[in-house]
Amino acid sequence: MQKKWWHGKVAYQIYPKSFCDTNGDGIGDLRGIIKKLDYLKDLGVDIIWISPFYCSPLADQGYDISDYYNIDPRFGTMADMDELLAEAKKRDLSIVLDLVVNHCSDEHEWFQKMLADPDGPYGKYFYIEECKDGKLPCNWRSYFGGPVWERIPGTDKYYLHVFHKKQPDLNWENPQVRQDIYKMINWWLDKGVAGFRIDAIINIKKALPFKDYPADRPDGLCSVHYMLKEAQGVLTFLHEMADHTFRPHNAFTVGEVFNEKPEELPDFIGDNGCFSTMFDFNGAIFGGSPNGWYDRTPITPDDYKRCCFESQRKIEGVGFLANIIENHDEPRGVSRYIPQGDCTETSKKMLAAVLFMLKGLPFLFQGQELGMENLDFTSIDEVDDVSTLDEYQVARNAGLSPEEALKAVNVYSRDNARTPFQWSAEKNAGFTEGTPWLRVNPNYVRINAEEQMGRPDSVYHFYKKLIALRKNPRYADTIVYGRLEPVWEDVHNLMAFYRRGEGQTLLVAANFQNEPRDITLDAPCRELILSNYENTEIHGNTIRLQGYQAAILRI
């Protein structure tokens, strides 16, 4: 595997709407990001991925773009963006944007031109079909519920949208569409962004012609996944895109790739892959049910361990994954991967240690460094996210009571991660002077950056230590490149692995339970590098792990 400049780095995702509001409208903005660059630099991150802030009706919080070349006024101006790039550069921080090109917004100029003349050139920018014998072109269900087809007003024609109906899919089969997209990507790269996180990219290749698959719910529709399994040739598009954009700019890219076929992995992220890296979603997708969120199987620590090790095995010798415990589409990692009732600062730190010691590029999601938790929504009216609203309805249709449905979707709601950043114990957690667009988690009085920065044993400081450890020249090479080798894999509630580097072996052991346990090594422990406990009992080759203790050792 070729070494790359970003392998030893740490990345951080900003969800701008919820990060920091500087003008009191209750919506985070680019100036808020500029204001907090020192906070991020001080934490130790290097790469900052910012979720979309382009012009957008915000039907899907900016993942519905109406102008790729401009900033939505709610987030700021192009002058703010230029300043952000300049300020980031001063601090040696790389800015990575969100590339959303499976679809645009129905308010984008291309779609508006299509509406004016569906048979004209812009009709070919989208997937436009007519009904056959009064039947939609196919029975796929949109990710946000309902059929993927929406009627074009005043016609018998329909356009395709695999996400919200305000997110029409772009027709990648049309070379003109691809050229327009590449031009836009190069425009941003020339402006100085380091690269992109690439949204929902697997969906750009459709299995054509459109056809039905067996229905998987009483609505008579089927998940888009059946089609994606059959679709061939996504990599041809992706390599073409890389050749025209990322490769000549030496850009950093991280793909949001679900459902890749194992044999395609090298093509995605191998030495000549179309992307630098892609997210490991193995833990995030665990327990999914075709019926919907209400029917999901919660993940246990043993499942989590298996998910991580499975990904590590499949990637060995191929490339470098991007590791996460949460993002803007997922519940908070600490609320998901730590068994209910056991979520404390200690267990949060343990989870952090595991994440950082896996092989790959760690991505933090804003607030993760504070151990921010899920929000207990008290009513569905508090929910903003389109996906959660749909899943609530799915649960209701399956016969769950309003209370049960709320409880079921609460655990997986994307809004859990989207609540405003908890900066301080002041009003609205210091996020805004105005009324926040989404409810602030009331636990901000307890969990906030100001308090944690002033307390050396906080979750925040533990993350800071982990980041520093990854960059400490004594261990960096092993942490970044060392082979990962699971150990005691079948032991219940224990997740442990070696990282084997050149002449150095580290052991990471995490005790996912309240009961202490002893682990006995076949070699003496040379050094305790980091732990989430102040004191660690080591007797010869035996180490006592306390409840939810993580220990990083050199052996």
Cβ–Cβ under 8 Å, residues 97 and 48? no
Burial 360-377 (b: 16+ CB within 10 A, else e): bbbbbbbbbbbbbbbbeb
Rule CB under 6 A: say whether 394 interacts with ligand TEU: no
Q: What dihedral angle (degrees, nearest 10) is formed by the CA atoms of 353, 354, 355, 357?
A: 80
Q: Which of 199, 280, 326, 391 is catalytic?
A: 199
Residue 63 site contact among ligand TEU, Ca ion, none (CB < 5 to 8 Å, cut-off depends on kind): ligand TEU
Strand duo 157-160 + 149-151: pairing:
antiparallel
- How far apart are alpha carbons 339 and 316 in whole angstroms? 29
- Determine phi and psi for 214, rounding to 5 degrees: -55, 135
Provide the minimum distance between the beta carbon of 76 and Ca ion in the complex, in angstroms, as a whole number.
Answer: 8
The rounded Cα 232 to chain-centroid distance in angstroms is 25
Binder among 29, 199, 280, 373 for ligand TEU (CB under 6 A): 199
Burial of 63 per CB tally in 10 Å (0-12, 13-18, 19+): buried
Q: Does 329 bind ligand TEU (CB under 6 A)?
A: yes
Cβ distance 266 to 2 under 8 Å? no
- Between CA 356 and CA 508 the distance in angstroms is 10
**Residue 200's binding partner out of Ca ion, ligand TEU, none, with CB under 5 to 8 Å set by partner kind:** ligand TEU
Q: Is 77 in the site for Ca ion (CB under 5 A)?
A: no
Of ligand TEU, Ca ion, none, which one sits near residue 29, judging by CB under 5 to 8 A according to partner kind? Answer: Ca ion
Residue 302, token pair as written in the block? 């043993």
- Contacting residue, 6, 163, 475, 548, with ligand TEU by CB under 6 A: 163
User: Which of 21, 169, 256, 390 does the annotation list as catalytic?
Assistant: 256
Instruction: Kindly state the smallest distance separating residue 412's Cβ from ligand TEU, in Å.
Output: 8
Alpha-helical segments (H) within 328-472: 333-337, 345-357, 386-397, 402-410, 415-418, 449-453, 459-471
Which x/- pattern over 139-158 shows residues binding ligand TEU (rule: CB under 6 A)?
----x---------------
Structure tokens at 528: 């305790």
Count of C-beta atoms within a 10 Å radius of residue 411: 16
**Number of amino acids touching ligand TEU (CB under 6 A):** 13
The binder of 303, among Ca ion, ligand TEU, none, by C-beta within 5 to 8 A per type, is: none
Question: Between the CA of residue 469 and those of 44, 380, 461, 529, what are the distances in Å?
Answer: 10, 42, 12, 9
Identify which of residues 128 and 200 has a Cβ nearer to ligand TEU in the complex. 200
Site string for Ca ion, 365-404 (x = CB under 5 A): ----------------------------------------
By CB under 6 A, tell whether 251 contacts ligand TEU. Answer: no
* CB-facing half-sphere around the CA of 408: CA atoms within 13 A: 25
Site string for ligand TEU, 86-125 (x = CB under 6 A): --------------x-------------------------
Q: Active site includes 384?
A: no
Whichever of 8 and 57 has its CB closer to ligand TEU, that residue is 57
- Measured in degrees and rounded to the nearest 5, phi and psi for residue 151 equal -70, 140
List the interface residues with Ca ion, window 15-44 (CB under 5 A): 21, 23, 25, 27, 29
Q: What is the dihedral of CA 538, 476, 262, 295, to 10 degrees?
A: 50
DSSP string, 109-146: HHHHHHHH-TTSGGGGGB-EEE-BTTB-S--EEPTTSS
Member of 387, 532, 546, 549 binding ligand TEU (CB under 6 A): 387
Whether 25 is a known active-site residue: answer no
Element (H, E) at 80: helix 78-90
Our CB check for ligand TEU shows the closer of 301 and 333 to be 333
Q: Which does 25 bind (CB under 5 to 8 A by kind): Ca ion, ligand TEU, none?
A: Ca ion
Residue 60 binding partner per list ligand TEU, Ca ion, none, with a CB distance cut-off of 5 to 8 Å that depends on partner kind: ligand TEU
Nearest residue to ligand TEU, scored by beta-carbon proximity: 63
Of 13-21, 185-193, 222-230, 284-292: span binding Ca ion (CB under 5 A): 13-21
Q: What is the CA radius of gyration of the chain?
A: 24
Q: Which is nearer to Ca ion, 32 or 362 (CB)?
A: 32
Nearer to Ca ion, 29 or 391 (CB): 29
Task: List residues bridging with 196 in a β-sheet.
Answer: 97, 253
Whether residue 553 contacts residue 497, with contact meaning beta carbons closer than 8 Å, is answered with no
Which among Ca ion, ligand TEU, none contacts residue 23 (Cβ within 5 to 8 A by kind)? Answer: Ca ion
Which residues are tagged catalytic? 199, 256
- Which residues of this chain interact with ligand TEU, rule CB under 6 A? 60, 63, 100, 143, 163, 199-200, 256, 258, 328-329, 387, 414
Interface contacts to Ca ion, rule CB under 5 A: 21, 23, 25, 27, 29
